[in-house]
């Protein structure tokens, strides 16, 4: 191994998080981003890089690769796009959710998806579907293209080795989601995980080593081709390892380093990118290093980071330790400088590098006027929260003038944590931050069906003249008649051959429909979810009806199953199926866990897209459909709270569907959703958006058939 890596180039152009980067050769790089673009970067004769948009997707892009000499990319639209300058991009279809991994060798490509499967493609034609994981497949690799051997890693904490479409071996050892894989040689591979570790495995099933050093989630790992590997993760961490330990630690100013790509054509350079939208290339070759000024700017950006944590004074070392050689690469120490400020220093390349200021919770409260930056936004506080023992800490941003529960909800949604933590996180904020408006410290998300009455918001949170908005109670669409549903089920079941329900299963469903509670809902949820994926669409309606009822009573619906059933049937071309699927989405809001599922960004965006298509379709344009759509928008408006970005997305969706709400009940519910959204976000930006989209005029033009509508219209007009 030669010297350490240094910054070579900054590639600036993406407008959102960069989620994937791949080298074509030492002069060409491809990247994809949440800005929905695939960009190609070319190295110029002068040594600088120039980028251009090669493809624009309608949805976020999350993975990129090279297959048969062409760029391929995947993302939220569930498609793999093959991009060529010589012709229009074409799509490989088959996945049912976000495509988050792509890898290829020769004519063979493998893809991984949140639909819990990996798919194998040969010359752009489908070959195998690899069904073995019980949750999202975060990464997939072609091990041997000729022998059709593959490796997949999943959110179920497992790594699977495949021979064709058969599981040859299962590797178990990570304690959390396995995020990334890389092949080292024909005998070993590496994996990385949300548990903060990198593991080295033998293909014989042996665990060769566990590499510790990351302090948070590890998102990707790659082979450097020099007997070393590189890993990237949360907290701006990049680490270079040999098979025994860390040989270089690099800190970046990005909160999340999502991806890494390595030049395999001989230079040994690598590119990393993440949440600050910048792709950074690093090299060991001094002739390719960036100017000293650029490298100093990067060091200053890292040094200016502020980390908030509870500090044990015994952990603070004497400053003289910085005059001593580090004990190991990546070691972090805290020292107090001459002014009394606590600094964090990390060993990198045998030297101590300042990687930021460390502020205790008490000091943070005293300095709350000094803003902290996270993901490009400024906050009064950015706490490091330990949600579960043994798991990496997560950044929790908070501003003193907002409701701690709103901040807690956003934090749980972003990190896909159970809403059962809501009170605990909100109380942590209240205990460690200055909450400027104590009247805002109620829980607006408490379940009225189970929570105490005093946990509900009072009029002190909004002007006392508002009595109807913002609405706080999630709605469900639960009305049903057991006998007609059961009779239809029995009739359809009689037509089935291999996937018919047994008599015992039918009786379980019958008893559950007549005595529905949480226990019955869990049984019916499992039974109907399985059948919904096996029966033909023309026989599925009674199954979907039972499923949407079960979802409303289920205390903890499984995310992958709920999403798969709902979105596989939410087809505007089949209006009866779409109606029941929409009702199931509405009913997800009936539990904390269900709200976590429905409120995730991917699910919300897919739901809004489906709502748009349903609204455009004249087929199935009934009051029942419109009420379901308006109810869904109302629930999303309540869940959005004071999140301005989500509020903008929702207000734009509402503008799209207002003219299709023809009956009084759907209009009332949509009006309630609009009022809730704007009342929770009382700023000129949201109001101006509502005005420009024509929502204000729509509200003022509504007919007023009764007193409740009259009151609601008056309140909404007053807030817009």
Domains 469-599 and 623-719 share a fold: yes
Residue 357, pLDDT score: 64
Element (H, E) at 131: strand 125-131
pLDDT in tens, 579-588: 999 999 999 9
pLDDT tens per residue, range 511-541: 999 999 999 999 999 999 988 888 988 899 9
Digit-coded pLDDT (tens) for 553-595: 999 998 888 999 999 888 888 899 999 999 999 999 999 989 9
Residue 511 to residues 482, 483, 489, Cα–Cα distance (Å): 9, 11, 14
Mean pLDDT of the chain: 84
Cβ atoms of 487 and 534 closer than 8 Å? no
pLDDT, position 305: 58
pLDDT range class, residue 248, cuts 50, 70, 90: very high
- DSSP annotation string for 285-335: -GGGPPPHHHHHHHHHHHHT-EEE----GGGEEPGGGGGSPPSSTT-EEEE
CATH number of 7-304: 2.130.10.10
pTM over 0.85: no
Q: What CATH number was assigned to the domain covering residues 375-428?
A: 3.10.20.870
As a whole-number percent, the residues of the chain with pLDDT over 90 amount to 48
Residue-level pLDDT at 589: 94
Residue with tokens 């009934």: 622
In terms of C-beta distances under 8 Å and separation of at least 24 residues, what long-range contacts does 40-45 make, across chains too? 40/71, 41/11, 41/279
| Mean pLDDT along residues 18-32 | 96
Question: Mean pLDDT across the stretch 678-698?
Answer: 76
114 vs 120: CA distance, rounded Å? 15
pLDDT at 462 over 50: no
**If pLDDT is split at 50, 70 and 90, which confidence band does 450 have?**
very low
Residue reference for tokens 């109620």: 442
Give 359-363 contacts, CB < 8 A, sequence gap 24+. 359/306, 359/307, 359/308, 359/309, 360/308, 360/309, 360/310, 360/311, 361/308, 361/309, 361/310, 361/432
Q: Which residue has the higher pLDDT, 596 or 684?
A: 596
Options 3.40.50.620, 3.30.300.170, 1.25.10.10, 1.20.58.1610; CATH of 623-719: 1.25.10.10
Report domain extents, the chain: 7-304, 313-358, 375-428, 469-599, 623-719
CA 58 to chain centre: 17
Q: What crossing angle do the helices spanning 623-640 and 592-599 adopt, rounded to 10°?
A: 100
Peptide bond into 133 cis (omega under 30): no
Spatial neighbors of 452 by CB under 8 A, at least 6 apart, are 446
pLDDT at position 427, please? Answer: 67
Q: Residue 618: count other Cβ atoms within 10 Å of its Cβ.
A: 7
287-309 residue pLDDT tens:
999 999 999 999 888 877 555 44
Q: Does the structure show a pLDDT above 80 at 694?
A: no
Question: Looking at per-residue confidence, does 545 or 706 come out higher?
Answer: 545
pLDDT at 468 over 80: yes
pLDDT tens digit string along 75-121? 988 999 999 877 788 999 999 888 999 999 999 999 999 889 999 99
For domain 469-599, the question of CATH label 1.25.10.10 is answered with yes
Per-residue pLDDT band at 2 (split at 50, 70, 90): low
Residue 285 has pLDDT above 60, yes or no: yes
**What pLDDT shows up at residue 718?**
84
The stretch 356-385 carries a mean pLDDT of 65
pLDDT tops 90 at residue 188: yes
Consecutive H or E run containing 607: helix 601-616
């Amino acid at each position: 191994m030669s010297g350490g890596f240094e910054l070579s180039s900054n590639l600036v152009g993406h407008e959102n998080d960069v989620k994937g980067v791949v080298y074509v050769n030492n002069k060409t790089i491809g990247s994809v981003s949440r800005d929905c673009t695939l960009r190609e970067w070319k190295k110029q004769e002068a040594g600088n890089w120039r980028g251009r948009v090669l493809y624009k997707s309608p949805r976020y892009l999350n993975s990129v690769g090279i297959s048969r000499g062409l760029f391929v990319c995947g993302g939220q639209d569930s498609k793999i796009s093959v991009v060529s300058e010589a012709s229009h991009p074409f799509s490989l279809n088959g996945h049912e959710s976000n495509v988050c991994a792509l890898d290829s060798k020769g004519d063979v490509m493998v893809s991984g998806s949140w639909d819990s499967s990996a798919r194998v493609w040969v010359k752009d034609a489908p070959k195998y579907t690899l069904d073995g994981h019980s949750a999202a497949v975060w990464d997939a690799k072609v091990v041997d293209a000729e022998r059709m051997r593959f490796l997949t890693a999943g959110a179920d904490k497992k790594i699977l080795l495949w021979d064709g479409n058969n599981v040859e071996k299962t590797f178990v050892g990570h304690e959390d989601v396995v995020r990334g894989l890389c092949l080292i040689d024909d005998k070993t591979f590496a994996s990385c995980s949300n548990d903060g570790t990198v593991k080295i495995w033998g293909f014989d099933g042996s665990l060769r080593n566990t590499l510790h050093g990351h302090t948070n989630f590890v998102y990707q790992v790659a082979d450097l081709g020099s007997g070393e590997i590189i890993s990237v993760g949360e907290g701006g961490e990049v680490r270079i390892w040999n098979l025994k330990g860390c040989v270089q630690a690099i800190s970046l100013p990005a909160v999340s380093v999502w991806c890494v790509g390595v030049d395999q054509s001989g230079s040994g350079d690598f590119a990393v990118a993440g949440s600050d939208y910048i792709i950074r290339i690093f090299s060991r070759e001094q002739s390719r290093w960036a100017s000293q000024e650029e490298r100093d700017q990067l060091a200053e950006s890292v040094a200016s980071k502020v980390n908030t944590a509870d500090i044990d004074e015994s952990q603070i070392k004497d400053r003289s330790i910085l005059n001593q050689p580090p004990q190991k690469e990546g070691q972090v120490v805290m020292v107090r400088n001459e002014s009394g400020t606590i600094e964090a220093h990390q060993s990198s390349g045998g030297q101590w590098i300042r990687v930021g200021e460390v502020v205790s919770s008490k000091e943070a409260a005293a300095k709350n006027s000094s803003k902290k930056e996270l993901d490009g936004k400024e906050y009064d506080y950015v706490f490091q929260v330990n949600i579960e023992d043994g798991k990496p800490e997560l950044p929790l941003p908070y501003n003193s003038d907002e409701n701690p529960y709103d901040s807690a909800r956003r934090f749980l949604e972003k990190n896909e944590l159970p809403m059962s933590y809501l009170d605990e996180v909100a109380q942590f904020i209240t205990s460690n931050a200055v909450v400027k408006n104590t009247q805002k410290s109620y829980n607006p998300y408490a379940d009225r069906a189970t929570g105490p009455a005093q946990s509900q918001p009072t009029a002190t949170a909004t002007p006392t003249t508002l009595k109807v908005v913002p609405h706080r109670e999630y709605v469900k669409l639960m009305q049903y008649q057991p006998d007609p549903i059961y009779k239809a089920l029995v009739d359809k079941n009689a037509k089935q051959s291999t996937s018919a329900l047994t008599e015992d299963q039918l009786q379980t469903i019958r008893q559950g429909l007549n005595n529905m509670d949480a226990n019955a809902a869990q049984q019916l949820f499992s039974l109907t979810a399985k059948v919904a994926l096996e029966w033909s669409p023309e026989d599925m309606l009674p199954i979907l009806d039972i499923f949407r009822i079960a979802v409303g009573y289920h205390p903890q619906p499984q995310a992958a199953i709920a999403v798969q059933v709902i979105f596989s049937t939410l087809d505007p071309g089949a209006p009866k199926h779409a109606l029941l699927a929409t009702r199931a989405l509405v009913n997800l809001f009936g539990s904390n866990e269900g709200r976590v599922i429905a409120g995730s960004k991917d699910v919300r965006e897919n739901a809004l897209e489906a709502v748009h298509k349903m609204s455009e379709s004249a087929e199935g344009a009934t009051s029942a459909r419109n009420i379901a759509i308006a109810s869904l928008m109302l629930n999303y408006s309540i869940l959005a709270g004071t999140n301005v970005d989500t509020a903008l997305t929702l207000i734009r969706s509402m503008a799209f569907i207002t003219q299709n709400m023809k009956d009084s009940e759907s209009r009332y519910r949509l009006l309630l959703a609009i009022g809730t959204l704007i009342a929770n976000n009382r700023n000129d930006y949201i109001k101006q958006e509502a005005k420009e989209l024509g929502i204000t005029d729509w509200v003022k033009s509504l007919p007023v058939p009764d007193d409740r509508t009259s009151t609601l219209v008056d309140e909404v007009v007053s807030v817009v």
